[in-house]
Amino acid sequence: MTELPMRMADQEISGPVTIYEVGPRDGLQNEAGSVPTEVKAELIGRLLAAGLPVVEATSFVHPKWVPQLADAEDLMRLLGDRLGDGARDLPVLVPNERGLDRALELGCRHVAIFGSATDTFARKNLNRSLDEQFAMFEPVVRRARDAGLDVRAYVSMCFGDPWEGAVPVEQVVSVGQRLFDLGASQLSLGDTIGVATAGHVGTLVDAFAAAGTRREELALHFHDTYGQALSNVQAGLRAGVTTYDASAGGLGGCPYAKSATGNLATEDLVWFLTGLGIEHGVDLPSLVETSTWLAGHLGRPSPSAVVRALG
């Protein structure tokens, strides 16, 4: 087992926590059955109405790789009809320059790129080495920033990799710093296979802070494979991180971990934060109603514990 250094003292959380909703993109992209564009649009509208401050809408990835998101342009146009100019503020994932072109054509204001903390996953997911991925991202980020867009960067496999095992903290920090250097404004650290533990979370956040990253520039993205997601959120809060990715109803999963149960459910996160007295701005009954409605369209119950309890 890799030994992790002792982490620094707890940080005080000031201000509310931001929940970054990824269900319509990261959650639905794993669904085998086609989800109608109309259902996706209604889902996003319901999530916004429930008070989610950020809802990631879709990804401009090639349909060959993610057939579920082949309707990205149609979805964004439909959302434009319903939300007006507000649809342009919904974040979208852009895997490369062609994806950015599509986002720019629709007037999107917030985009995200998706990198890897390990060489093996970079090669499998991006067909690039760990170092080569930055050459692919550089023109995407530069052009996006030149056009006035905000750029978020996801980093996968930050806590463990199914092929490489434990990922050194310093390796994750190096990848993250290079993405910040390219121009990313926020870095989402992903526990892609759900193996993170509370001590590891605190150590990684502190390592970024020691390297000069402001804690408010970090977000945490947990999967609940081993039932540790909320424990890891608490560790993140103690380390001073105030942005957390979550997926309504626990949508999503990970094909690289046996029995992975998917993303941290937004409802479970809301219940947890409410119990701590932390402001989040989300109406839980509306959110539960939305996830129950979506589960009906998907033909199976939600894996969220809170949805099962209240739905």
Helix (H, G, I), strand (E, B) or coil at 120: helix
d(CA 132, CA 57): 28
Q: Which of 246, 254, 269, 295 is catalytic?
A: 254
Buried-exposed string 12-44: b where 16+ CB fall within 10 A, e elsewhere: ebeeebbbbbbbbbbbbbbeeeebebebbbbbb
d(CA 253, CA 60): 20
The conformational region for residue 107 under phi > 0 = left, psi -120 to 50 = alpha, else beta, is: left
d(CA 140, CA 234): 34
Nearest Cα to 134, choosing from 174, 178, 101? 178
Determine contact, residues 221/154, Cβ cutoff 8 Å.
yes
Dihedral sign for Cα atoms in the order 122, 126, 132, 137: negative
What CA–CA distances, in Å, run from 169 to 57, 195, 308? 31, 14, 36
- Residue 254 bears catalytic tag: yes
Catalytic residues: 254
